[in-house]
Amino acid sequence: MAAPQSDHERRKQISVRGIAELEDVNQIKKTFNRHLHYTLVKDRNVSTLRDYYFALAHTVRDHLVGRWIRTQQHYYEKDPKRVYYLSLEYYMGRSLSNTMINVGIQSSCDEALYQLGLDIEELEDIEEDAGLGNGGLGRLAACFLDSMATLGMAAYGYGIRYEYGIFAQKIINGEQQEEPDDWLRFGNPWEKARPEYMLPVNFYGRVEDTPQGKKWVDTQVVFALPYDNPIPGYNNNVVNTLRLWSAKSPVQFDLKFFNDGDYIQAVLDRNLAENISRVLYPNDNFFEGKELRLKQEYFMVAATLQDIIRRFKAAKFGKRDPVRTNFDLFPDKVAIQLNDTHPSLAIPELMRILVDIEGLSWEKAWDVTVKTCAYTNHTVLPEALERWPTSMLESILPRHMQIIYHINHLHLEQVLKKWPGDMDKMRRLSLIEEDGEKRVNMANLSIVGSHAVNGVARIHSEIIKRDIFRDFYELTPEKFQNKTNGITPRRWLLMCNPGLADLISDKIGEDWIVHLDQLQQLKQWAKDANFQRAVMQVKQENKLKLAQMLEKDYGVKVNPSSLFDIQVKRLHEYKRQLLNCLHIITLYNRIKKNPNAKIVARTIMIGGKAAPGYYTAKKIIKLINSVANVVNNDPIVGDKLKVIYLENYRVTLAEKIIPAADLSEQISTAGTEASGTGNMKFMLNGALTIGTLDGANVEMAEEMGNENIFIFGMTVDEVEALQKKGYNAYDYYNANPELKQVIDQIQNGFFSPGNPDEFKDLADILLKWDRFLSLADYDAYIKAQDEVSRVYENQCKWLEMAIHNIASSGKFSSDRTIIDYGREIWGVEPNYNKLPAPHEPRE
């Protein structure tokens, strides 16, 4: 085997091929030293690694500034339709490496830092993740921003600048502990505060009837301070903006205390208002009806809509008319995409602005609102759907509650026209739920207030129409669409797996980076022994690098020639990490029963955060760690099986783990995972998939062919049939001795000798109340895993499948997803033209 290339050598090779010039390198060294001196106020005798990171970040940032300003000028000049992506989450991860790649200065920076005697990878590792998201939904928003910029769309992300992102997970004695994510502690070199664009947001108060219409008065004001974050497109000199709002107390926050002369108390209470942007709610696929969360949602929406309308009015569209006032044009100039229902108050807020402030008729305002807004649904799990109590809305947003009632009134008139006398249908289609505490169903509001509603994978979009939104589909079938999720190939291949990216570019050129379909060409080398060997070497290097990291950071030794079997994603019962655990225990029992049998060695890694209040998910983490403890310390097992819980799974860890995976676990109960995007990242990096026919797995199987994926278990129809018939886990438990042994071990404390009852509740769930039917899929899962091992023994076959699957992953680029949103929802086309670089003359 050839000596592995260092990343420095690899990047240098690209530079020979590409654009890196001596001049660039010298300029970057100069700028770096200037920033170390003037920005960091350090010399090299006292500089820390963090100082070097910041000096480099500022150097790279300098390359964004001219492009950023000119992109925004260009949008002002051309006045294209703007796309506004509204999301409570952006799971961005790190920016340094991604920015260097997208603006094309990676190899120059690498060489410059090398000449300065610094290790660029070591500096990259200093950067904190921007962890302003929980999982797939937040990461999707981040991939979309990259694609929209790369496709030259005039797009803006809007969200909240949480002071604390997703908590850091520590595993202590096998249990999850949460630590606050103080990600801004050392400062954020990428953001630019814009206090001059601060906007007021109102809460509470009451509604006054005046001759000029409704007035929302006596409100409490909180200011929204925008922070702009650059979103560079790939190699096109476009830099879009992600604008994140931070809560600021008004100068006179609490008049009561000021009037009482309690100046100190008044200053202290400014924190109350600023708590709105303090912390990300750490729930994935779960609705927690907390007042502060409702305030976050409205805060983001209210500030954003003011910004959108200001920009609409300020558009240059004829010199004689300096302010645009005709809102007929609004839907032609503005598209608003709601990432789940979290920003769905945008619908009543836009109505409030248009009717109460701009003086439009209700009918006109409604027409504008529906034409402008579109809603993406992300889950069918009932516990995840937002249903805010009307009492809470009435108190915090009294005018919005009135508007929602009026929307509902007119909507139900239409329903009654279509289905006269059908009270059941009325009840199911109402935005207001009346059983138990009166609530607003935000999904229903979002459907009624949007012209397009989409699911995030084909099967999910079908389930939406058939099940949860069935009545709405009957009412307005033309609204319902599918937009299968995707991932950005820049971060998830070019950046995180440079070895594989180079190999691909050597074969087919670099076009795949922006046209991922081009990977198809690789199919001709799927059986090529030389190409297989090269792909295997890259995978082996990636596995070795991960193994070294695991040993260095966690002190665990893994066998890098074992099969790396990986499940990383949020910890959730529906994702069935428990089913994975049942397989682990089964393998362990087989080894113990037959220690001399030849088996394929596996390193099984599971990682993911549990919501802090999710008791069962935390118990599952503890079980996995307890099983790991038994398995890893059993001398009979040796190198054949290792189990590792990957602590603190996040974007940056994903970038290190996924390129090293052999097997990707995507094993949710059919019908529960809306799409999944982790599945796509693994496919693109040459892991094979074991999975159910759920979410995007269905379309992945279609693209690669059933013979290249390990599909097992019940289909959605079979799940439904079983639930209808009545699921009895004991049927499976009693029928399969291997399964029975595994459950008994969990039940009787085999993995928790100090506390035999520790996992009784998990065994109980599996046997009595498992909504996700784990035992019904156990047998098929074990058989599929046996097949995985059998195929892995034939390395040629395995590599052929892996290469074929990489070559089949073009559909899962978020560029494709965004082009589809543009064409079918926003009325916006991609623009592949490059803007002139900052040093080039304008067009």
Ligand X SMILES: *Cc1c(COP(=O)(O)O)cnc(C)c1O
Judged by CB, which is closer to ligand X: 676, or 822? 676
Q: How far apart are CA 296 and CA 294, in angstroms?
A: 5
Q: Give the containing element (helix H, strand E) for 263.
A: helix 263-268
Report in angstroms how near the CB of residue 604 gets to ligand X at its nearest: 16
Member of 304, 625, 677, 692 binding ligand X (CB under 6 A): 677
Measured distance CA(432)–CA(430) in Å, rounded? 5
Pick between residue 678 and residue 810 the one whose CB is nearest to ligand X: 678
- Which of 649, 751 has the CB closer to ligand X? 649
Q: Assess whether 378 carries a catalytic annotation.
A: yes
- Which one of 681, 689, 692, 817 is the catalytic residue? 681
Query: Residue 171: which of 799, 492, 696, 625 has the closest Cα?
Result: 625
Q: In angstroms, what is the minimal distance from the CB of 17 to ligand X?
A: 30
Give the pairing type, strands 641-646 and 663-666: unpaired
Told to judge if 575 belongs to the known catalytic residues of this protein, a careful annotator would answer yes
Q: What is the dihedral of CA 544, 545, 548, 553, to 10 degrees?
A: -150
Q: Which span sits near ligand X by CB under 6 A: 300-308, 537-545, 677-685, 738-746? A: 677-685
State the Cα–Cα distance between residues 510 and 100, nearest whole angstrom.
17
Taking CB under 6 A as the binding criterion, the range among 148-156, 648-656, 724-732, 735-743 that sits at the site for ligand X is 648-656
Closest approach of ligand X to the CB of residue 412, in Å? 37
How many Cα atoms are found within 13 Å in the side-chain-facing hemisphere of 426?
14
d(CA 166, CA 281): 8
Least separation in angstroms between CB 657 and ligand X:
10
Residue in 495, 651, 788, 806 binding ligand X, rule: CB under 6 A: 651
Chosen residue from 104, 136, 455, 713 binding ligand X by CB under 6 A = 136
| Contacts of residue 267, Cβ cutoff 8 Å, sequence gap at least 6 | none
Helix (H) or strand (E) holding 688: strand 688-691
Partners of 214 in the β-ladder: 209
When asked if residue 67 is in the footprint of ligand X (CB under 6 A), the reply is no
The least distance separating ligand X from the CB of residue 575, rounded to whole angstroms, comes to 7
Active site residue 681: yes
Q: CA–CA separation, 639 vs 788, rounded Å?
A: 18
Among 135, 152, 205, 498, the residue binding ligand X under the rule CB under 6 A is 135
Tokens of 598: 């030849």
Catalytic residue among 61, 293, 378, 411: 378
Longest dimension (CA), the chain: 89
Beta-bridge partner residues of 717: none
Name the segment binding ligand X (CB under 6 A); options: 225-233, 586-594, 650-658, 783-791. Answer: 650-658
Identity of the residue, 71 or 482, whose beta carbon is nearer to ligand X in the bound complex: 482
Question: CB-wise, 440 or 663, nearer to ligand X?
Answer: 663
Asked whether position 676 contacts ligand X by CB under 6 A, the answer is yes
Give the active site residue among 63, 479, 569, 804. Answer: 569
Q: Which residues, in sequence order, are CB contacts of 405 under 8 Å at separation 6+?
A: 432
The reply on whether position 460 binds ligand X by CB under 6 A is: no
Residue type, 340: D
Do 60 and 109 contact (CB within 8 A), yes or no? yes
3-class DSSP state of 352: helix
Instruction: Single out the catalytic residue among 586, 677, 689, 692.
Output: 677
Does position 691 interact with ligand X (CB under 6 A)? The reply is: no
Site for ligand X in 150-169 (CB under 6 A): none
The window from 299-307, 345-353, 446-454, 649-657 that contacts ligand X (CB under 6 A) reads 649-657
Point out the residue whose Cβ comes nearest to ligand X.
Answer: 678
Stretch that binds ligand X, among 30-38, 132-140, 403-411, 757-765 (CB under 6 A): 132-140
Using rule CB under 6 A, residue 605 touches ligand X? no
Which lies closer to ligand X via its Cβ, residue 74 or residue 139? Answer: 139
792 by DSSP, 3-state: which? Answer: helix
Examine residue 650 and tell whether it contacts ligand X (CB under 6 A). yes
**Nearest residue (CB) to ligand X, 277 versus 488:** 488
Interacting stretch for ligand X, rule CB under 6 A, among 144-152, 402-410, 647-655, 791-799? Answer: 647-655
> Closer to ligand X at the Cβ: 136 or 560?
136
3-state secondary structure 381-431: CHHHCCEEEHHHHHHHCHHHHHHHHHHHHHHHHHHHHHCCCCHHHHHHHCC
Q: Is 303 in the site for ligand X (CB under 6 A)?
A: no
In the chain, the amino acid numbered 56 is: L
Catalytic annotation, pick one of 70, 387, 575, 583: 575
Closest CA to 457 of 672, 676, 669: 676
Do residues 35 and 55 make contact, with C-beta atoms less than 8 angstroms apart?
A: yes
CA atoms of 576 and 582, how far apart (whole Å):
10
570 is catalytic: yes
**Binder to ligand X among 101, 654, 660, 835 (CB under 6 A)?**
654
CB atoms within 10 A of CB 473: 18
Question: Among 32-40, 646-654, 719-727, 780-788, which window interacts with ligand X (CB under 6 A)?
Answer: 646-654
Q: Which of these is catalytic: 61, 94, 161, 570?
A: 570
Size of the site for ligand X (CB under 6 A): 12
Write the single-letter amino acid at 354. Answer: L
The answer to whether 220 and 193 have CB atoms below 8 angstroms apart is no
Catalytic residues: 378, 569-570, 575, 677, 681
List residues near ligand X by CB under 6 A: 135-136, 139, 569-570, 650-651, 654, 676-678, 681
